Amino acid sequence: MGVGYGTRLKALALYLKNFQLLPSARIVTLLSDLFGTTFCEGTLFPAEQSASEQLEPFLEGVRSALLASPVLHCDETGLRVEGKLHWLHSASTEQFTLYDWHPKRGKAGIDHLGLLPRYTGVAVHDGWASYESYACSHALCNAHHLRELVALYEQGGQIWAREMSLLLVAMKRAVETAKVQGLSALPKEGRVAFFARYAVLLAKGFATNPLAPGTGKRGKVKQSAGYNLLRRLSVGQDNVLRFVSDFSVPFDNNLAERDIRMMKLKQKVSGGFRTSAGTTAFCRIRSYISTLRKQGYSVLPALQQLLLGKPIIPQA
């Protein structure tokens, strides 16, 4: 005779796998030790698929909310699916999170998430070239820039890099102070002074890291790490310093990095995904969990609601 399991036990199994990130085999062992059940992996997979199918209205609501947001945080990271490298793509705000996966890291993968081709706000990202192809406004993560500047100073002794890092931190503090004062942007005289200092340090940097001359051979000449960083800070200056003139734009992309960190932890704890269907289900359920946690919901009751066919639809 077959054994049937209720929504509470199935919800707990989904909670352990998709929130606590335990491997399926350990979940089966844990449930057996706690409840004396014969719950098996063959029961967990259909429960995940059923939950995934119930999330269509939820995902539609999240996409609508993200498209309407004035600022959108984007990131991507490697993901093992069926033994091969794929890419997890994420888009998020303080209230919503959306995950999906694709074989490609670049534009095809970003398009698959279904947001940036239609998005009209400010996309915050780490400067990956594929993001620049979209018509929305852009803001670059200055936490990345600070790490690169510190490395140039500590490993290469480049004084301009230390001065630039201090300048960016000074801008960040000035913005934080202005926000406390109720301002929506730095006063013009403050911006002019910061931008003038920024231009001086760029000139110092390029003097230290000149463009490498051509070799006469076909293809691009490899440039130094310092030159590549300087070019990004120079050509993309408006995107680097957007946080100074628009206080709705953050200094960094830490929100997206936090949202994607747990997905990397899942791979470290449980390994890669064995099936594409399981990968899709995990991304969808994790989008549900992350969004509802941001909005103050408890995860386990929300998963029970999902299995009952009544997913919680997030509020914009």
**Does position 2 have pLDDT exceeding 70, yes or no?**
no
**% residues pLDDT > 70 (the chain):** 97
Residue 24 located in a structural domain: no
Q: How many whole angstroms separate alpha carbon 54 and alpha carbon 65?
A: 19
Instruction: List 98's β-bridge partners, or say none.
Output: 91
Residue 35 located in a structural domain: no
Helices (H), the chain: 7-18, 24-35, 41-53, 56-68, 107-113, 142-156, 159-180, 188-208, 225-235, 237-240, 242-245, 254-270, 276-294, 299-307
pLDDT at 231: 96
What integer best gives the mean pLDDT of the chain? 93
What's the number of domains the chain is made of? 1
Residue 156 located in a structural domain: yes
DSSP string covering 88-108, please?
EEEEE-SS-EEEEEES-SSHH
pLDDT digits 0-9 by tens, 78-95: 999 999 999 999 999 999
**Does position 1 have pLDDT exceeding 80, yes or no?**
no
3-state helix, strand, coil in the chain (%, to 5): 60, 10, 30
- What is the mean predicted confidence (pLDDT) over 104-130? 96
Helix axes 225-235, 188-208, angle to 10 degrees: 150
pLDDT digits 0-9 by tens, 23-57: 888 998 999 888 888 888 888 899 999 999 999 99
Instruction: List 125's β-bridge partners, or say none.
Output: 140
Residue 170 located in a structural domain: yes
Q: How many whole angstroms separate alpha carbon 103 and alpha carbon 302?
A: 30
Residue 183 located in a structural domain: yes
Is 315 or 187 the better-scoring residue by pLDDT? 187
Residue 229 located in a structural domain: yes
pLDDT at 4: 59
Residue 180 located in a structural domain: yes
Residue 306 located in a structural domain: no
> pTM above the 0.75 mark?
yes
pLDDT digits 0-9 by tens, 250-290: 999 999 999 999 888 888 877 788 899 999 999 999 999 99
Structural domain boundaries enclosing 177: 142-210+224-252
